Amino acid sequence: MPDPPTTEALRPKQIGRRRLASLRDRDFAWMLSGRLVTNVGNALGTALFLFFLLHGLGQPSAVAQDNLLLLIVVYTVFVVIASVVTGIVSDRTGNRRTLTVAATVVQAASGVAIALVPTFEMTMVAAALMGLGYGAFSTVGLAFVADLLPDEQDHARDLGIVNVTAALGQLIGPVLGGGAGRARGRLLAGVRRGRSAVPRRRAAHGLRAPAGQDVMRSRSPAPGHR
């Protein structure tokens, strides 16, 4: 079927309208910043699961890769469940703001859990919490975005900005995680070098002291010889 005729001529013309005026809307700007931070946190967790298994829990490479697959399955299952359930709850209650905030808190709780109890079992729980929080956020948060779109004539453009913000968070997260991991590795390497240098210095000092005493004794005159 052919496309319907354009309604561009029927739209009311706004004189003095600024480009990207939606970014000047306070609620819309806060929503964008919240989506950016939430997606950065989600990308940090999902991208660094393998490194946490390898270096945080000290698992062998083969075991860590198998466990990573298990974590991904758990995360995905809870994303799907949370997306469907919270979407239904959001439509029935209309309380999207509270559900969105609760989803971000649940996602943040996953990081706190593995920081307090760094075990593989707790990592499984953290993957479930992360999937639960992000699944709820991706569904209810998008509905919340639709409620906050400021200009009905630019909904598609503003939704494009929202998608760019989410994709940017998924890009920034692994970069920040990799940089933090590299800085931590350098710091630990420096600490290890400093610790290993202290015994060597003490040993070298202990070896030099008797040598100096022997030199002083060789230079001193024998008793009774003047």
**Burial, 137: exposed, middle or buried (Cβ in 10 Å; 0-12, 13-18, 19+)?**
buried
Q: What is the mean pLDDT of the chain?
A: 77
pLDDT of residue 188: 47
pLDDT of residue 122: 93
pLDDT of residue 226: 46
pLDDT of residue 109: 92
Low-confidence ranges of the chain (pLDDT < 70): 1-21, 177-226
Cα–Cα distances (Å) from 143 to 47, 139, 156, 171, 190, in that order, read: 26, 7, 14, 23, 49
The yes or no reply on domain 25-177 and CATH 1.20.1250.20 is yes
Structure tokens at 67: 């466990």
pTM of the model: 0.69
